[in-house]
């Protein structure tokens, strides 16, 4: 379920096969026309109905229902930058991570372990439409994901609050997976044992850590910067 004008517009732009749209009386006519032209079923709602079924306190005038993609981990095999979230519990953080990864040109995102449902309405909303244009995999245990990435020759780098190398001093032009952990506890020992190195974003001395979505953005954009200089892509 995707609520809002921006999300529906992004879904249509990405060519997603939207199943249906529920529209309040003040829904933008041009957006509904775009949806109808794409073959989407549109149901007009009486005043006040959307307010009773939407998740937000002040809902936007459209709510779309979309199919859940069937992306597999194998579909990311040729990606040169993958973001792996381990035990992410907050839907807002997961959505922000997706948004950051897509903006930096990542080839895909994997949420594994006991991470939040990638298609939770709050996660979808926080992604600001990135979820429609980014290969996304909801996987099982992190160890299995790491083993598969290792088999493909993809370097695994953990983002840690302390003790890692400055991302600007690490060669991020070769294929790699950025592994980020739980918002409160980071990556556990088991997950850290599966990576080949770690990176830490330099911060002011009195700063403990960054939000996981922000940290993902900083490191992914550093990779993008290096790759522009090398003439590569994610």
Look up the CATH number of the domain holding residue 151: 3.40.1280.10
**Which run of H or E residues covers position 224?**
helix 212-230
All residue ranges of the chain with pLDDT < 70 are: 55-58, 232-234
Verify that 40 and 113 share a domain, yes or no: no
Verify that 147 and 202 share a domain, yes or no: yes
For 141, the domain range is 73-230
What pLDDT is stored for residue 233 in this prediction?
53
CB atoms within 10 A of CB 163: 8
Distances from the Cα of 100 to the Cα of 53, 172, 202, 224, 230, angstroms: 29, 17, 19, 12, 21
* Residues 29 and 62 sit within 8 Å (Cβ to Cβ): no
CA distance 199 to 168: 9
Look up the CATH number of the domain holding residue 46: 3.30.1330.30
Q: Which residues sit opposite 65 in a β-bridge?
A: 20
What pLDDT is stored for residue 234 in this prediction?
53
What pLDDT is stored for residue 155 in this prediction?
96
Q: What's the whole-number average pLDDT of the chain?
A: 91
* Residues 80 and 233 sit within 8 Å (Cβ to Cβ): yes
Question: 175: helix, coil or strand?
Answer: coil
How far does Cα 171 stand from its chain's mean position?
A: 23
Verify that 181 and 149 share a domain, yes or no: yes
CA distance 139 to 158: 18
Number of structural domains found in the chain: 2
Nearest CA-CA partner of 82 in 129, 135, 161: 135
Verify that 79 and 152 share a domain, yes or no: yes
> Which distant-in-sequence residues (6+ apart) come within 8 Å of 155 by Cβ?
174, 175, 176, 177, 196, 197
CB atoms within 10 A of CB 172: 26
Q: Which tens digits make up the pLDDT trace of 21-78?
A: 999 999 999 999 999 999 999 999 998 888 787 766 667 899 999 999 889 999 999 9
What pLDDT is stored for residue 188 in this prediction?
85
CA distance 97 to 146: 19
What pLDDT is stored for residue 204 in this prediction?
86
Torsion sign across C-alpha atoms 83, 89, 93, 98: positive
């Amino acid at each position: 379920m995707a609520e809002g004008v921006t999300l529906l517009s992004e879904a249509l732009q990405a060519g997603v096969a939207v199943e249906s749209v529920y529209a309040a009386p003040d829904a933008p006519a041009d957006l509904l026309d775009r949806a109808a032209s794409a073959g989407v079923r549109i149901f007009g709602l009486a005043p006040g109905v959307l307010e009773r079924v939407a998740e937000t306190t002040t809902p936007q005038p459209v709510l779309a229902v979309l199919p859940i993609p069937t992306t597999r981990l194998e579909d990311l095999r040729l990606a040169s930058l993958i973001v792996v979230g381990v035990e992410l519990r907050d839907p807002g953080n997961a959505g922000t991570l997706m948004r950051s990864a897509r903006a930096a040109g990542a080839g895909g995102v994997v949420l594994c372990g006991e991470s939040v449902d990638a298609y939770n309405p709050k996660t979808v909303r926080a992604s600001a439409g990135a979820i429609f244009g980014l290969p996304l995999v909801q996987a099982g245990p992190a160890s299995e994901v790491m083993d598969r990435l290792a088999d493909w020759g993809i370097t695994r780098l953990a983002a840690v609050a302390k003790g890692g190398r400055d991302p600007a001093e690490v060669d991020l032009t070769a294929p790699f997976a950025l592994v980020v952990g739980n918002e409160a506890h980071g990556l556990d020992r088991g997950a850290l044992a599966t990576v080949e190195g770690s990176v830490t974003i330099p911060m002011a001395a009195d700063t403990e850590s960054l939000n996981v979505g922000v940290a993902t953005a900083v490191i992914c954009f550093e990779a993008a910067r290096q790759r522009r200089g090398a003439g590569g892509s994610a």
